[in-house]
Amino acid sequence: MAETTTANTTNAARPAPRGTNDRRGGGRPGGRPNANGAPREEKQFEELVVNIDRVARVVKGGRRFRFKALVVVGDKKGKVGVGVSKGQDVQVAITKATDVAKKHLISIPVVNGTIPHDVEIKLGGARVLLKPAAPGTGIIAGGVVRSIIGVTGINNLLSKSLGSTNKVNIAYATIEALQSLVPKEEWLHNSEAKAPAKKATSKTGTDKKAEPATKKEAK
């Protein structure tokens, strides 16, 4: 009898396995919910911190240090934005730069996982060249350009960064290059709009040199 009581007490003291509906609530299948019990929503945009610099400003009492963050935001469906902001703390600078990037999103025409045509942009001291690539090539880029292209949804691209190595200038030049892309459906329309209009020819066939002769005859 004593042995049976000891066995029951030992089994009752054992904790329930994780994933069961006990009072501890261990092993929730949908992840840890919010305070109100609703499951967390997935982020619409992917945020990527490209660079963080410590900047200083000379004031009367000495130097005042702050942080400058460069953040890229994209949804991998053709929308991307770049933001730069400063803050007293690193986290504050990243938050402000993310808000700036979300306010300046641009749409990119993506054709078969790449861009529709070549583009080269020079902004400040930075010069960025982007070229379309065949399927399976991947993103051939480095540094800032790769970080920006990685959140746009483009899978195949060739790029080259020339000139300045300033990451902020390269980021803005890359965004300018992506914004200048023209969809394939608008190529013919744009070429017709840029074509010069033909000069209208006179239907009467009169010549300007014949006008003085007519005046003399009138005299």
Give the number of other CB atoms < 10 A from CB of residue 147: 22
Going by pLDDT thresholds of 50, 70 and 90, the confidence category of residue 121 is very high
Which residue blocks in the chain are alpha helix, DSSP H? 2-13, 90-103, 144-149, 167-179, 187-194, 210-218
Q: What is the pLDDT of residues 46-76, one digit of tens each?
A: 899 999 999 999 988 899 999 999 999 998 8
pLDDT, position 20: 47
With a CB cutoff of 8 Å and minimum separation 6, the contacts of 73 are: 45, 46, 47, 48, 80, 81, 82, 83, 98, 101, 102, 105, 151
The tokens of 206 are what? 């009169």
Can you tell me whether residue 32 is helix, strand or coil?
A: coil
Q: What is the pLDDT of residues 161-171, one digit of tens each?
A: 988 889 999 99
Is the CB of residue 168 less than 8 Å from the CB of residue 124? no
Is the CB of residue 115 less than 8 Å from the CB of residue 179? no
For the cut 90, the answer to whether the pLDDT of residue 40 exceeds it is no
pLDDT, position 7: 47
With a CB cutoff of 8 Å and minimum separation 6, the contacts of 136 are: 156
Work out whether the CA dihedral 144, 113, 151, 70 comes out positive or negative: positive
Which pTM does this prediction carry?
Answer: 0.66
Q: Looking up tokens 């030049």, which residue turns up?
A: 173
Is the CB of residue 190 less than 8 Å from the CB of residue 182? yes
Is the CB of residue 154 less than 8 Å from the CB of residue 108? yes
Q: What is the pLDDT of residues 90-115, one digit of tens each?
A: 999 999 999 999 999 999 998 889 99
More confident residue, 211 or 95: 95
Write down all domains in the chain, each with its CATH number in brackets.
Answer: 46-107 (3.30.160.20), 119-186 (3.30.230.10)
pLDDT, position 44: 81
More confident residue, 41 or 104: 104
Going by pLDDT thresholds of 50, 70 and 90, the confidence category of residue 33 is low
The residue count of the chain comes to 219
pLDDT, position 52: 93
With a CB cutoff of 8 Å and minimum separation 6, the contacts of 176 are: 121, 123
For the cut 80, the answer to whether the pLDDT of residue 206 exceeds it is no
Residues 118-132, mean pLDDT to the nearest whole number: 92
For the cut 80, the answer to whether the pLDDT of residue 207 exceeds it is no
The tokens of 98 are what? 């993310």
